[in-house]
Amino acid sequence: MVTPCCVIQGRTSLRGDIAISGSKNAALPILAATLLTDQPCVLHNVPELTDVANMLEALRLLGAEVISVGPRSWSICAKDVHTDARNPVVQHLRASVCLLGALLGRKRSASVAMPGGCKLGARPIDLHLRAFHRLGAQVHQPTGYVSLQTDYLTGTVLSMLGPRGPSMTGTSNAVMAAVLAKGTTVIRHASREPEIASLCRMLNQMGARITGLNSGTLIVKGVPFLHGTSFTVPPDRIEAGTFIILGYLRGTPVRVHGLTPQFLTENFQGFFDAIPSARRHSFFHDGAFEVHRIEDLPGLDICTLPYPGFPTDLQPQISVLASQAISASRVRDTVFPQRFAHIPAFRRLGIQAKVEHDTLHLAPHSTLHSGEVTATDLRAGAALYLAGILADGSTTVFRPDYVDRGYEHFEEKLQKLGAELTRLS
């Protein structure tokens, strides 16, 4: 039996066109939000990912009718659903926590298995549970799952500010629980991530009354019911950032489709601020964002922050780019300070890196070579693919299933650009 892996032949220059898929982090809470109405919701541009497949299966197990109505399009009707989501599918999906807010909002009850997902250090859901309690729910945590129960929900004032900034999934949960509550809910220190705005726009199309999008304070005026809608999932900014970084590494050039100047302005300000020379090597041309290799990259000094700062989900990928700079770089992660489990794999491929507390120090001009490495999480897995493309010789990346969770047809897109790789399973 062959252990699943991807074998990458390195030192290939990349050239060509790829299209960015729908956003994983937007699609998952949007899928959960279909539980808030008994009418059909039709979602378009839903990415083909294992996390999305698991969320669709979780909705089916709750009793929703889930039907494919075209490529990347799904019709979901949660007319008759129950509230018990304690099953293995939910246990392996971090975003399954969003089922709590949707079920509580619609059914006033929920029993959901504790969420899984990538291991990025402590990721408690205490902010979520506190918000539910403030809205009027009784919260119980028996071993392995969360149970919520209430006769009715009442608007309140609550905060989504955690020790490392606003909680994105906590904000999603609070909004979904509040849209059908009595009265007005004010969510202070709400996450400003674009994925939250997408969720709120969809809910407003369904009849919700949410204002303050992108402001950090969401005001949710409860309504009696929500109706169905049709909604298109926006492009995935993390996938886009990964391919843009790849273009800076090996592009001759790489042309990224599916983005607009407005999308880049809204989603990539912190990204481009962190890479001073980036704008000279990437620009819009003939409807695509064209990215060229940066030959003499100055050392980078990056600090991940909640939106609109540099995203933590691009920290491993940008570290590969920083390893090729002409002077030393440092990458600090304030969102997930323990997000450095991939560094031993980096070192195995020749990246000279040292971790001190929440900061990664990278020596300049690392010469990457072949090796066998194992992905430790979704974004680290993508970074190892980038490193393998950059390295001399043949690199084997084990646990490619991590990458499947968040990148649609990642290997096929890399091959389309000229990368030489083979998936073994």
Residues 226 and 244 reside in one and the same domain: no
Residue 81's domain comprises 24-232
Residues 211 and 327 reside in one and the same domain: no
Give the C-alpha separation, 42 to 31, whole Å. 10
pLDDT digits (tens, 9 = 90+) for 323-342: 999 999 999 999 999 899 99
User: In terms of C-beta density within 10 A (0-12 exposed, 13-18 middle, 19 or more buried), how is residue 386 classed?
Assistant: buried
Residues 316 and 218 reside in one and the same domain: no
Look at residue 234 in the predicted model and tell me its pLDDT. Answer: 97
Residues 249 and 375 reside in one and the same domain: yes
Q: Could you give the number of structural domains in the chain? A: 2
3-state secondary structure of 105: helix
Look at residue 6 in the predicted model and tell me its pLDDT. Answer: 97
Residues 251 and 380 reside in one and the same domain: yes
Under the banding of pLDDT at 50, 70 and 90, the label for residue 114 is: confident
Residues 163 and 284 reside in one and the same domain: no
Q: Name the token pair of 127.
A: 């902010």
Statement: residue 90 has pLDDT above 90: no
3-state secondary structure of 227: coil
Find out whether 96 and 113 touch, Cβ atoms under 8 Å: yes
- Which of 171, 197, 232 marks a domain boundary? 232
383, amino acid identity: A
Which CATH number do you get for residue 88?
3.65.10.10
- Which of 232, 259, 281 marks a domain boundary? 232
pLDDT digits (tens, 9 = 90+) for 288-322: 999 999 999 999 999 999 999 999 999 999 999 99
Under the banding of pLDDT at 50, 70 and 90, the label for residue 121 is: very low
Give the C-alpha separation, 30 to 12, whole Å. 38
Q: Which residues carry out catalysis?
A: 118
